[in-house]
């Protein structure tokens, strides 16, 4: 009768292969960089800037723009492939530079006559 050779016996004699190494990262991800403020509590960051609106390295504020201003900011951001907030920050920096250079906005002064609020709209007798 023919003799049967077990292929598993031949495999047992072979050396164990090295485990596959992960491919090297092509570019670092956001979490790969250390944030020096990660050790600081949110409360301490808020106290340091006197605001509870801390958003990373920025302080969150809300500003209102005219439709024309916003359209121009969006157009510049699209043209340069930069975020709208990045363009708005740059425009504010440029405006602050103008202010420090002595440029001041034109302000129209108007006399305002204050009227007291009345509690009763009816006639008091």
- pLDDT confidence of residue 51: 62
Convert the pLDDT of each residue in 46-88 to its tens digit. 677 666 676 777 877 788 989 999 999 999 999 999 999 999 9
124 domain-assigned: no
19 domain-assigned: no
6 domain-assigned: no
- pLDDT confidence of residue 86: 93
Lookup result for tokens 């723009």? 65
Say which range, 85-89, 100-104, 106-110, has the weakest mean pLDDT.
106-110
- pLDDT confidence of residue 50: 66
- Residue 80's domain comprises 62-102
**Which residues neighbour 21 within 8 Å (Cβ) at sequence distance 6 or greater?**
none
Lookup result for tokens 């359209």? 71
Convert the pLDDT of each residue in 1-45 to its tens digit. 567 777 777 777 777 778 777 777 676 666 666 777 777 777 777
84 in Cβ contact with 77 (< 8 Å): yes
Higher pLDDT pick, 111 / 56: 111
CA distance 1 to 13: 26
Domain count, the chain: 1
Higher pLDDT pick, 121 / 43: 43
- pLDDT confidence of residue 94: 93
97 domain-assigned: yes
114 domain-assigned: no
86 domain-assigned: yes
**pLDDT exceeds 90 at position 122:** no
**pLDDT exceeds 60 at position 91:** yes
């Amino acid at each position: 009768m023919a003799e049967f050779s077990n292929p598993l016996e031949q495999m047992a004699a072979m050396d164990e292969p090295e485990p596959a190494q992960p491919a090297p990262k092509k570019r670092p991800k956001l979490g790969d960089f250390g944030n020096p403020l990660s050790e600081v509590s949110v409360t301490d960051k808020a106290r340091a800037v006197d605001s509870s609106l801390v958003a990373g390295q920025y302080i969150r504020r809300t500003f209102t723009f005219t439709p024309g201003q916003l359209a121009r900011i969006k157009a510049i951001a699209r043209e340069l492939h930069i975020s709208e907030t990045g363009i708005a920050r740059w425009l504010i920096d440029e405006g602050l530079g103008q202010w420090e250079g002595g440029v001041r906005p034109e302000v129209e002064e108007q006399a305002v006559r204050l009227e007291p609020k009345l509690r009763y709209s009816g006639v008091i007798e």
